[in-house]
Structure 1
Amino acid sequence: MKLKNILIPFAGVLLLTACEKDHRNDNLTDPRVYIVNNGVQNAIYYDVEETIDFDIYAYSSGYFGQPSEVKVVPDPDAVEAFNAANGSSYTLLGEEYYQIVKDTGSITAEGRRATLTVRLDCKGIMALPYMNDYVLPLRLTATGTEVNEKLNTILINPRMQETEVLAENAGVVESDLSATDANTLEFTAYTEFNNKWDSEMEYEHGDAMLAAYNAEHGTQYIPLPESAYTFTGADLKAGSNKAVSTIDIDKSNLTADRYYTLAVRLKSNSKFKIGEKNTVLYHISLLPIYDSRSKWNLVSCSSYYTGRGPELMIDGDLVTRWESRYNNTGEGDINPNEASTVWDMGKTYYWCGMTLVRRSDSYVTDLRAGYIELSDDGKNWTKAQDFDFGDKTNTSTTGTYAVEQWTVSGRYVRLAVNASNRNKLYSVSEFVPVLAEKTK
Structure 2
Amino acid sequence: MKRNIFVIYVLLGLVLSSCNETMELVEENNIVKTSLSFETYGFQTVNTYTLYDEYTYNLSINYRETEQIDVFVEVDTVALVDYNNLYEKNYNLLPSEYYSLAENITISDTETTIPVLFNVKKIIEEIGIEEAANYVVSLLVQPTIDSLTVNETGGGVILHVLVNEPVIEFSQNTLNVVIDDTTSVSALTMTGSFGFDGFDISNVSANENSERVSIYNSENGTNYMELPSLNYIFNGLSVDSVSGIMSSDLQVNVIGLEADSTYILPIDLSSDLYTLEPETIYYVVTVKPTAPEYEAIFELSTLQIVTGGYESTQVSFDFAKVASLLNTTEDELKNNIVLYGINTDELSFSTTYTAGAPGFWFNSDGNVGSYSGDNSMMYVEYKDDGKFNIGQFPNKSEAGEQHKVSLAMVYNGLMVRFNINLFITYGNYDLTASGPVDDTYTGIPIQFDIDDAATIFGVTTAELKGNMALYAQNAGSIAKVSTATDPGFWFNDEGDVCNWGTDGCAIYITYDNDKTFNVGQFPGFTKSGDVYNYTLILVYNETNFITYNITVNIT
Matched with 2:225 is 222
Matched with 1:197 is 199
Matched with 2:167 is 164
Q: 2:63 is aligned with what amino acid?
A: S
Correspondence 1:283 to 2:282: no
Q: Pick closer, same or farther for the CA change 1:288–1:131 going to 2, 3 Å.
A: farther
Q: 1:285 Cα deviation (Å)?
A: 0.6
- Choose the corresponding residue for 1:50, options 32, 50, 53: 53
SS at match of 1:71: strand
Query: Sequence identity of aligned pairs in percent?
Result: 15
Q: 1:237 Cα deviation (Å)?
A: 6.1
SS at match of 1:73: strand
Structure 2: distance between partners of 1:56 and 1:39: 12
Structure 2: distance between partners of 1:205 and 1:260: 17
Q: 1:204 is aligned with what amino acid?
A: N
In structure 2, list runs of 5 or more residues that go unmatched.
Answer: 1-31, 294-324, 326-413, 418-555
Structure 1: distance between partners of 2:216 and 2:87: 50
Q: 2:112 is aligned with what amino acid?
A: A
Q: 1:270 Cα deviation (Å)?
A: 4.4
Matched with 2:266 is 264
SS at match of 1:193: coil
Matched with 1:213 is 216
Q: 2:38 is aligned with what amino acid?
A: I
- Choose the corresponding residue for 1:121, options 119, 122, 140: 119
In structure 1, list runs of 5 or more residues that go unmatched.
Answer: 1-28, 292-296, 298-344, 349-440
Indicate conservation of the 8 Å contact 1:178/1:288, yes or no.
Answer: yes
Structure 2: distance between partners of 1:215 and 1:30: 63
Q: 1:238 Cα deviation (Å)?
A: 4.2
SS at match of 2:215: helix
Matched with 1:96 is 97
Correspondence 1:152 to 2:155: yes
Q: 1:149 Cα deviation (Å)?
A: 6.3
Indicate conservation of the 8 Å contact 1:236/1:242, yes or no.
Answer: yes
Moved over 6 A (4+): 345-348
Structure 1: distance between partners of 2:247 and 2:175: 18
Matched with 1:112 is 110
SS at match of 1:213: helix
Question: How does 1:247-396 map onto structure 2 within 5 Å?
Answer: 247-251=250-254, 254-276=256-278, 278-285=280-287, 287-288=289-290
Structure 1: distance between partners of 2:259 and 2:181: 12
Indicate conservation of the 8 Å contact 1:266/1:274, yes or no.
Answer: no
Q: Pick closer, same or farther for the CA change 1:232–1:60 going to 2, 3 Å.
A: closer
Q: 1:132 Cα deviation (Å)?
A: 2.0
Q: 1:261 Cα deviation (Å)?
A: 0.8
Structure 2: distance between partners of 1:164 and 1:128: 15
Q: Pick closer, same or farther for the CA change 1:31–1:143 going to 2, 3 Å.
A: farther
Q: 1:235 Cα deviation (Å)?
A: 4.4
Matched with 2:133 is 132
Q: 2:231 is aligned with what amino acid?
A: A
Q: 1:162 Cα deviation (Å)?
A: 3.8
Q: 1:140 Cα deviation (Å)?
A: 1.6
Indicate conservation of the 8 Å contact 2:141/2:150, yes or no.
Answer: no
Matched with 1:187 is 189
Indicate conservation of the 8 Å contact 1:175/1:283, yes or no.
Answer: yes
Q: Pick closer, same or farther for the CA change 1:187–1:346 going to 2, 3 Å.
A: same
Q: Pick closer, same or farther for the CA change 1:130–1:288 going to 2, 3 Å.
A: farther
Q: 1:138 Cα deviation (Å)?
A: 1.8
Indicate conservation of the 8 Å contact 1:41/1:156, yes or no.
Answer: yes
Q: Pick closer, same or farther for the CA change 1:241–1:55 going to 2, 3 Å.
A: closer
Matched with 1:87 is 88
Q: Pick closer, same or farther for the CA change 1:173–1:34 going to 2, 3 Å.
A: same
- CA-to-partner distance for each residue in 1:253-307, whole Å, 9 max, x for gaps? x24444141223242134311103742232231523999xxxxx9xxxxxxxxxx
Q: TM-score, normalised on structure 2?
A: 0.42
Q: 1:44 Cα deviation (Å)?
A: 1.8
Pick the structure with greater CA Rg.
2
Structure 2: distance between partners of 1:184 and 1:257: 16
Q: 1:183 Cα deviation (Å)?
A: 1.3
Structure 1: distance between partners of 2:243 and 2:85: 44
Q: Pick closer, same or farther for the CA change 1:209–1:246 going to 2, 3 Å.
A: same
- CA-to-partner distance for each residue in 1:353-380, whole Å, 9 max, x for gaps? xxxxxxxxxxxxxxxxxxxxxxxxxxxx
Q: 1:141 is aligned with what amino acid?
A: Q
Structure 2: distance between partners of 1:236 and 1:30: 41
Q: 1:71 Cα deviation (Å)?
A: 0.9
Q: 1:81 Cα deviation (Å)?
A: 2.9
Q: Pick closer, same or farther for the CA change 1:154–1:97 going to 2, 3 Å.
A: same
C-alpha RMSD over aligned residues? 3.7
Q: 1:114 is aligned with what amino acid?
A: T
Q: Pick closer, same or farther for the CA change 1:33–1:246 going to 2, 3 Å.
A: closer
Structure 2: distance between partners of 1:289 and 1:120: 64
Q: Give the total of aligned pairs.
A: 265
Q: 1:53 is aligned with what amino acid?
A: T
Indicate conservation of the 8 Å contact 2:71/2:107, yes or no.
Answer: yes
- CA-to-partner distance for each residue in 1:16-68, whole Å, 9 max, x for gaps? xxxxxxxxxxxxx996323332322221223322221112222234xx64432
Q: 1:192 Cα deviation (Å)?
A: 4.0
Q: 1:168 Cα deviation (Å)?
A: 5.0
SS at match of 2:113: strand
Structure 1: distance between partners of 2:133 and 2:80: 15
Matched with 2:398 is none
- Choose the corresponding residue for 2:178, options 175, 178, 196: 175
Q: Pick closer, same or farther for the CA change 1:52–1:227 going to 2, 3 Å.
A: same
Q: Pick closer, same or farther for the CA change 1:42–1:251 going to 2, 3 Å.
A: closer
Q: Pick closer, same or farther for the CA change 1:112–1:289 going to 2, 3 Å.
A: farther
Correspondence 1:74 to 2:72: no
SS at match of 1:123: helix
- CA-to-partner distance for each residue in 1:184-237, whole Å, 9 max, x for gaps? 332334214255321233223353221221123221112222333332212446
Indicate conservation of the 8 Å contact 2:270/2:279, yes or no.
Answer: no
Q: 1:121 Cα deviation (Å)?
A: 2.0
Indicate conservation of the 8 Å contact 1:97/1:125, yes or no.
Answer: yes
Indicate conservation of the 8 Å contact 1:169/1:280, yes or no.
Answer: no
Matched with 1:36 is 39
- CA-to-partner distance for each residue in 1:156-179, whole Å, 9 max, x for gaps? 111234432234543251231434
Indicate conservation of the 8 Å contact 2:136/2:161, yes or no.
Answer: yes
SS at match of 1:234: strand
SS at match of 1:32: coil
Structure 2: distance between partners of 1:224 and 1:65: 67
Structure 2: distance between partners of 1:35 and 1:282: 50
